[in-house]
């Protein structure tokens, strides 16, 4: 690959930087950014290096990409290897995109300034489906052919990972290979192979792309889309996905890290010079979730639950606060309250940060007396809002989605919170959940009204005048996702959503209540992309050619544009949002996330009967995630 390449760093002109929003997006130079100076000197002197050059690409703007933990973890893991230099690249915003195109400046990585085409591996993290056209933007601006089939021996190997790659079919033709699951080990196995390829270029038998991909396909978790043929039935559904070469696995199982205490975690990380979306240092408490909410894709994809020990976290938290200088440390997980040693951990951190004016942020905390007390202790700032996610308005529907929270739970915790002086509450609901009726929608407003009433009851009981009550109600459209018990379910129509929204708007009219809703158009497109097949790649490329980028930004998104492109291709929104047969072969069936399709189908049937399924720690429901041989599935045995 890069034997012929020399080093052509991009330097943007002052006037170009001054012509765009937030020019620091394009300048790098942050504290903690890694410049491997010996590699850089080699590049400057000779135009080449034996070190594997990895461009970690985030297909959205810098402020969003730098807020992503996967980027920080893998940047650290890759750069810890003496054989790799990993750099970062982000999607240029439209203003810079125009400048790069007009002046024919290639998209470059921030550390060395090298155009993306000069790297050995260009790796994308795909965090949400609506970033797909930005992948194409980055590839094209980076000087790399969009499709795997069009790349030659001198082009970089283009790879992807992240949560949405469990169904990467709509973008499969754009990637040479895709990494399924947690990347810490897999990515180094890949760069080892890239190192071999690079060194072989100096010999009489240089490794070809095809040979590289064949060898990469034997790395567990690696999916090479071009090695699989997809055939379709007359009705447009998938008939089969079969390997087209010998020795290629017919099913790709995700990779996970079993021992999170042993895996490398960045305790030194980049501190940006400008404000980013999540501007704090992060501790990752655990992966996976014991809850099994049936609508939640992450809850199934990341099984089984694996925790870090409180000792490891305490050590990492203290190191992070010291090395970054951040005054806020965030705890990340799918459900903070389920962390076994939350109390010793937070006590330890509070003690360690005494006098530092560092606060802890604890998202997704269940509200009870313990957590209210904790919130009071950890936050140096004033009482912020409390967040609840009942997700549905009635107990019937909450049972259907297996959301283990009752109206009583919500009201009794709010009673405590209101007594404790909290007066701002955020409530999250979803519209369009399977089996939802008008009664369920009205149930949302009934619950909100009960909360409103409770506030004044508490005030009367205490005989105090309280602060102004602020209830924020937020609804989003439910998107039935792959690898959930609802993957067979249809998505509500745009009209149905609009009807439900206006019903709620009517019912929630009050000076204490603010109702906000998520954009409908983008959610409709998201279901197409998340449950889509390979035929959508052409649609995506056409949309990109029409200038559709930054689809996740409401004001950039063209719903009607995408619908007509879909129709031109002989496809339809209805096809992707429809109800699916129980025996239908899905475009993602050759990917195995541990949780088995039979279990998901069992869960679908329990949902239909309104039967709840207990969390993993209460009793095992045999989802299949025990196949990895660790985590919560084996906790009982160990103790």
Partner 1 sequence: MNAKDREREMTTQQHQTQYICRIRFARKGSLSYIGHLDLMRTFERAIRRTELPLLHTQGYNPRPVLVFALPLGVGISTESDYVDIAFSVPVPPEQVIREMNRFLPPDLWTVDGVVVPEGTGSVMAAVTSASYRFEAPQILPYVKRALEADSLLVTKISKGETREVDIRPLILMDLTADDAKGEDAVCLLFRAGSRENLRPDLFLSAVTRHFAYDEDAAANCRVTRTGLFTGVFPNYTDLKEI
Asked if residues 331 and 362 have their Cβ atoms less than 8 Å apart, the reply is yes
At closest approach, how far in Å is the CB of 105 from partner 1? 15
CB nearer to partner 1: give 381 or 560.
Answer: 381
Q: Determine, following the binding rule CB under 8 A, whether residue 453 of this chain makes contact with partner 1.
A: no
CB of 78 to partner 1, least distance (A): 21
Residue 274 makes contact with partner 1 by CB under 8 A: yes
Q: How far apart are the first and last CA of the chain?
A: 51
Q: Check binding of 18 to partner 1 (CB under 8 A).
A: yes
Residue 545, SS3 per DSSP: helix
28 interacts with partner 1 by CB under 8 A: yes
What is the rounded distance in angstroms from the CA atom of residue 635 to the CA atom of residue 638? 5
**Which segment (26-34, 50-58, 339-347, 493-501) binds partner 1 by CB under 8 A?**
26-34
By CB under 8 A, name the one of 4, 6, 13, 453 that touches partner 1. Answer: 13
List the structure tokens of 445.
């407003």
Among positions 380, 384, 437, 564, the unique one binding partner 1 when judged by CB under 8 A: 380
C-beta neighbour count of 11 within 10 angstroms: 9
Residue with smaller CB distance to partner 1, 14 or 205: 14
Number of residues lying near partner 1 (CB under 8 A): 28
Task: Give ∠ CA 221-225-231 in degrees, rounded to 5.
Answer: 125
Is 243 in contact with 196 (CB distance < 8 Å)? no
Does 19 sit near partner 1 (CB under 8 A)?
Answer: yes
CB of 85 to partner 1, least distance (A): 17
* Cβ–Cβ < 8 Å for 86, 106: no
Among 4, 41, 264, 273, binds partner 1 (CB under 8 A): 273
Judge contact between 111 and 35, C-beta under 8 A. yes
Q: Token digits for 518?
A: 């998520």
3 state SS of 116:
helix
Residue 576's alpha-carbon distances to 158, 167, 174, 490, 538, in angstroms, are 27, 13, 21, 8, 16
Coil, helix or strand for 360? strand
Using CB under 8 A as the binding rule, whether residue 322 contacts partner 1 is answered as: yes
- Residue list 145-204, contact with partner 1 (CB under 8 A): none
Considering the rule CB under 8 A, would residue 37 count as an interface residue with partner 1?
no
Cβ(135)–Cβ(127) under 8 Å? Answer: no
**Contact present, 589 and 171 (Cβ < 8 Å):** no
468 binds partner 1 (CB under 8 A): no
Q: Which of 8, 9, 10, 27 binds partner 1 (CB under 8 A)?
A: 27
Q: How far apart are CA 274 and CA 271, in angstroms?
A: 9
Q: How far apart are CA 371 and CA 365, in angstroms?
A: 7
Binding residue (CB under 8 A) for partner 1 from 3, 6, 31, 506: 31
Told to check if 465 binds partner 1 by CB under 8 A, we report no
Asked whether 148 and 225 are in contact (CB, 8 A), the reply is: yes
Cα 302 to the center of its chain, rounded Å: 11
Minimum separation from the CB atom of position 36 to partner 1 (A): 14
Helices within 165-262 (DSSP H only): 186-200, 209-216
> Is the Cβ–Cβ distance between 71 and 276 less than 8 Å?
no
Say if residues 533 and 241 touch (Cβ distance below 8 Å): no
Task: Indicate which single residue of 152, 244, 381, 639 sits in contact with partner 1 (rule: CB under 8 A).
Answer: 381
We find the least distance from the C-beta atom of residue 59 to partner 1, in angstroms, to be 23
Q: What is the DSSP letter of 466?
A: P
Q: How many CB atoms lie within 10 A of CB 581?
A: 9
Binder among 9, 10, 17, 106 for partner 1 (CB under 8 A): 17
Q: Which is nearer to partner 1, 350 or 503 (CB)?
A: 350
Tokens of 419: 């007594």
CB 285 within 8 A of CB 338: no
Q: Are strands 228-232 and 238-243 parallel, antiparallel or unpaired?
A: antiparallel
Strands 386-391 vs 359-361: parallel, antiparallel or unpaired: unpaired
Which lies closer to partner 1 via its Cβ, residue 24 or residue 69? 24
Binder to partner 1 among 8, 9, 23, 189 (CB under 8 A)?
23
With CB under 8 A as the contact rule, the residue among 325, 363, 385, 547 that binds partner 1 is 325
By CB under 8 A, name the one of 200, 215, 237, 323 that touches partner 1: 323
Residue closer to partner 1 by CB (options 359, 476) is: 359
Owner of token pair 């949560």? 163
Q: Find the binder of partner 1 among 61, 100, 326, 441 (CB under 8 A).
A: 326
Q: How far is the CB of 24 from partner 1 (least distance, A)?
A: 5
Q: What is the pattern of x (binds partner 1, CB under 8 A) and - over residues 345-374?
A: -----------xx-----------------
Q: Which of 3, 4, 6, 29 binds partner 1 (CB under 8 A)?
A: 29
Residue closer to partner 1, measured from CB, 258 or 319:
319
Among 202, 275, 468, 638, binds partner 1 (CB under 8 A): 275
Does residue 14 touch partner 1 according to CB under 8 A?
yes
| Binds partner 1 (CB under 8 A): choice among 104, 202, 382, 511 | 382
* 459 is a contact residue toward partner 1 (CB under 8 A): no
Stretch of residues binding partner 1 (CB under 8 A), selected from 187-195, 272-280, 529-537, 548-556: 272-280
According to the binding rule CB under 8 A, does residue 6 interact with partner 1? no
- Distance CA(131)–CA(551), nearest Å, equals 7
Tell me the pairing of strands 470-477 and 157-161.
Answer: unpaired
Separation between Cα atoms, residue 305 and residue 293, nearest integer Å = 14
* Interaction of residue 41 with partner 1, rule CB under 8 A: no
Q: How far is the CB of 349 from partner 1 (least distance, A)?
A: 16
Contact flag: residue 470 with partner 1 (CB under 8 A): no
Residues 88, 314, 635, CA angle at the centre, nearest 5°?
100
Residue 346: CB minimum distance to partner 1, A? 20
Give the nearer residue to partner 1 in terms of CB position, either 30 or 341. 30
Nearer to partner 1, 28 or 183 (CB): 28
Q: Is the dihedral of CA 190, 196, 202, 208 positive or negative?
A: negative
Nearest Cα residue to 401 out of 288, 517, 296: 296
Stretch that binds partner 1, among 15-23, 389-397, 448-456, 502-510 (CB under 8 A): 15-23
Q: Is 614 in the site for partner 1 (CB under 8 A)?
A: no
Q: What share of the chain is helix, strand, coil (3-state, %, to 5)?
A: 40, 15, 45
Q: Is 30 in the site for partner 1 (CB under 8 A)?
A: yes
Instruction: Compute the distance between CA of residue 356 and CA of residue 558 in angstroms, rounded to an integer.
Output: 47
* Chain residues that interact with partner 1, rule: CB under 8 A: 13-15, 17-19, 23-24, 27-31, 271, 273-275, 322-327, 356-357, 380-382
């Amino acid at each position: 690959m890069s034997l012929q390449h020399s080093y052509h760093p991009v330097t943007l002109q002052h006037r170009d930087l001054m012509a765009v929003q937030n020019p620091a997006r394009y300048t790098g130079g942050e504290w903690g950014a890694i410049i491997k100076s010996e590699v850089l000197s080699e590049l400057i002197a000779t135009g080449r290096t034996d070190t594997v050059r990895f461009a970690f690409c985030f297909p959205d703007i810098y402020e969003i990409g730098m807020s992503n933990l996967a980027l920080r973890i893998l940047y650290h893991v890759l750069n810890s290897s003496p054989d790799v230099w990993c750099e970062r690249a982000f999607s240029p915003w439209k203003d810079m995109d125009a400048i790069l195109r007009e002046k024919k400046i290639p998209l470059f990585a921030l550390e060395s300034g090298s155009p993306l085409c000069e790297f050995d591996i260009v790796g994308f993290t795909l965090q949400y489906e609506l970033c797909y056209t930005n992948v194409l933007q980055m590839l094209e601006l980076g000087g790399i052919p969009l499709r795997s089939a069009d790349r030659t021996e001198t082009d970089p190997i283009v790879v992807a990972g992240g949560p949405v790659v469990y169904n990467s079919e709509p973008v499969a033709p754009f990637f040479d290979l895709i990494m399924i699951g947690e990347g810490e080990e897999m990515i180094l196995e890949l760069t080892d192979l890239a190192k071999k390829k690079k060194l072989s270029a100096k010999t009489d038998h240089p490794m070809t792309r095809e040979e590289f991909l064949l060898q990469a396909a034997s790395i567990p978790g690696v999916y090479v889309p071009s090695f699989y043929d997809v055939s379709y039935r007359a009705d447009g559904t998938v008939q089969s996905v079969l390997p087209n070469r010998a020795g290629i696995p017919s099913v790709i199982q995700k990779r996970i890290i079993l021992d999170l205490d042993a895996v490398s975690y960045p305790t030194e990380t980049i501190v940006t010079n400008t404000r980013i979306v999540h501007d704090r240092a992060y501790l990752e408490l655990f992966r996976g979730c014991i809850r099994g909410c049936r609508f939640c894709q992450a809850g199934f994809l990341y099984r089984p639950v694996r925790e870090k020990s409180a000792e490891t976290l305490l050590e990492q938290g203290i190191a992070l606060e010291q090395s970054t200088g951040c005054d806020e440390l965030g705890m990340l997980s799918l459900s903070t309250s389920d962390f076994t040693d939350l109390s010793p951990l937070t006590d330890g951190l509070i003690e360690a940060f005494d006098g530092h004016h560092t606060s802890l942020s604890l998202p997704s905390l269940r509200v009870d007396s313990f957590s209210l007390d904790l919130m009071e202790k950890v936050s140096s700032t004033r009482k912020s809002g409390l967040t609840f996610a009942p997700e549905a308005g009635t107990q019937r529907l909450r049972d259907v989605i297996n959301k283990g929270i009752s109206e009583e739970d919500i009201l009794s915790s709010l009673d405590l919170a209101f007594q404790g002086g909290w007066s701002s509450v955020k409530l999250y609901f979803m519209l369009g959940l399977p089996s939802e009726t008008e009664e369920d929608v009205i149930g949302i407003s009934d619950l909100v009204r009960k909360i409103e009433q409770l506030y004044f009851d508490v005030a009367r009981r205490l005989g105090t005048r309280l602060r102004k009550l602020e209830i924020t109600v937020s609804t989003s459209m439910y998107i039935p996702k792959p690898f959930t018990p609802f993957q067979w379910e249809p998505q509500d129509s745009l009209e149905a959503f609009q009807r439900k929204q206006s019903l709620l708007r009517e019912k929630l009219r009050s000076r204490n209540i603010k109702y906000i809703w998520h954009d409908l158009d983008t959610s409709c497109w998201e279901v197409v992309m998340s449950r889509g097949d390979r035929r959508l790649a052409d649609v995506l490329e056409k949309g990109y050619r029409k200038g559709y980028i930054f689809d996740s930004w409401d004001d950039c998104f063209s719903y009607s544009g995408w619908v007509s492109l879909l129709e031109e291709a002989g496809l339809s929104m209805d096809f992707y949002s429809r109800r699916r047969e129980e025996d239908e072969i899905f475009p993602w069936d050759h990917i195995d996330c541990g949780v088995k399709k039979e279990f998901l189908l069992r869960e679908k049937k329990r949902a239909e009967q309104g039967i709840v399924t207990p969390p993993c720690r209460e009793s095992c429901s045999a989802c299949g995630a025990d196949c990895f041989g660790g985590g919560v599935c084996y906790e009982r045995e160990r103790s």
